[in-house]
A and B are shown apart, each in its own frame.
Chain A
Amino acid sequence: MALLRLAVPLLLLAALWEGAVALLHISPFYLPPLRQVLGSIYAFGPAYAQAFLVTLGEATVGFVAGALVGVVSAAAFHHARWLRDMLFPLFIASQTVPVIAFGAIVVLWFGNTLLAKAAIAFYLTFFPVTVNALAGVEAVDPRQVALLRSFGASRRDIWWKLLLPSALPRIFTALRLSAGLALAGAIVGEWFGASIGVGAMLLAALFNEQVVAMWAAILAAAAVGGTIFGVVALVEARLVFWRDEL
């Protein structure tokens, strides 16, 4: 059933693509036929597979680090009001900084490594998770906390048994958003001199004005995004099975 829900829009989109190209006589400069794009991916299979894996790795490292830092910051902000007052405005300000502009500097710091792209992905990921985790923790019914305290629960007990599980639905909402942001960070990070990866492929296609290669790279990006998103959704379904509203 879930597979069907995924397959139907994909197939519809593919049909729409092929149909539009054929019926509306769209110039291949704008949209080459899907067959041609898929054919190109097939022809250079190993190269695309490598790009897929490299970008997936970069995005995943940044994503996981961002998720962890986000939840830990939320915990710290919840327990220490002064820390929150002091750092949260900086967190917000940090997000108005066009991080992408940092790409060059980050690559300077970390060299042309996985870490450089992961750092950018991290920067984009941690903030939504912090905000949502904090909102989730603050939304817990104070009576629920009072009840646990009446049982003699420690702060630690309350965090692990009540606050964190309660915040999970919102944390996962942020994670689903962050999955895309982490990928964007990895792709743009690759624009600063990387030779392997989906972002590097996009750039190469732009310089060579190869529309087919560009669309192929976009599909590869979609595959990376879909993979991260899918894993997040699977984990969410396991952990937050009890969530009653959508």
Chain B
Amino acid sequence: MKDAADQLDQLLTVGAMPTARPKLALRGVSRHFGAVQALAKVDLGIAEGEFVTLIGPSGCGKSTLFNIVAGLLEPDAGGEVLLDGVATSLLGKVAFMPQRDLLLPWRNVLDNAILAAEVEGRPKREARETARAMAADFGLKGFESHYPQQLSGGMRQRVALMRTFMFDRDLMLLDEPFGALDALTRAMMQRWLLDIWSRYRRTILFITHDIDEAIFLGDRVVVMSARPGSIKLERRIELPRPRDPALLTTPAFNAIKRELLDAVEEESLKTFAAGAA
């Protein structure tokens, strides 16, 4: 009888903690380019529905890591990338948003948003209907027929994000999506992204240069080391959600920032010294 209760308990525990099997798991992922080692044994897990932000000094192999998770690059032999516990080719399984919006100038807002869906073979009309319904959420209502050239930087970025969301995958990879925006637009986009995320509830891996952004957005911040890149530090951010800009000036926020800054600066100095040598 006791055994059965134990078993039941275990089952319940598993059921209550979906994080036991991560959405995405990297195990000992390394990558060389010729003689240069970009990544060294990266281990990283991301739970279902988690928002993980990744920071690191420039040239730490962030983009290499990113391209591996997007399925555009293969890791060196020995490393594993598991999606839902299965090692498969990730190409077409991850919704990926690069730094630049990469909108096609000959497609209007709707048609840019449905690009991924179209590639998947969804009928254009149906995809357009979905996009039209989503446009309001992405602050693009009334701009459906505009061309990218006619939009502001923030709006273009929202079109690119909508395209990423329409590529209906559980895992989203965002590579400094707000890097090119001015500070005010960027702050607004961050809050807006959190809002969208809480509504659509996807697992997000978000790369950034900006420590404030990393803390403000993430459930967890991952700091990468200087090249060859590996995980230097993982810091859970237990700040309450929904988060608002006032958070940025609280002592709790600053304490976390101090801690992360130290780690990032140490790594940046290594890169700098290596560059000077």
Contacts and interface: CB of A to CB of B under 8 A. Distances in A.
Interface string A137-156: 00001011011111111000
Interface residues of A, number: 21
A165 B105 CA distance: 9
Contact of A165 (B72, B95, B100, B106): B106
Contacts of A144: 102
A44 interface: no
Contact of B119 (A141, A143, A152, A243): A152
Interface string B96-110: 101110101110000
Interface in B156-191: 167
B46 interface: no
Given A143-B102, A147-B96, A244-B149, A161 B115 contact: yes
A168 B70 CA distance: 29
Contact of A149 (B72, B99, B147): B72
A137 to B, nearest CB: 15
A151 B105 contact: no
B102 A151 contact: no
B70 A150 contact: yes
B119 to A, nearest CB: 4
B92 A151 contact: yes
B214 to A, nearest CB: 23
The 7 residue pairs across chains A and B that have the minimum distance between CB atoms: A152-B92, A150-B96, A151-B116, A242-B105, A153-B119, A151-B119, A242-B106
Given A146-B98, A150-B71, 15 more contacts: A146-B67, A147-B96, A147-B102, A150-B72, A150-B95, A151-B92, A152-B92, A152-B120, A161-B104, A161-B115, A165-B106, A240-B106, A242-B105, A242-B147, A244-B149
Interface of B: 67, 70-72, 91-92, 94-96, 98-100, 102, 104-106, 115-116, 118-120, 147, 149, 167
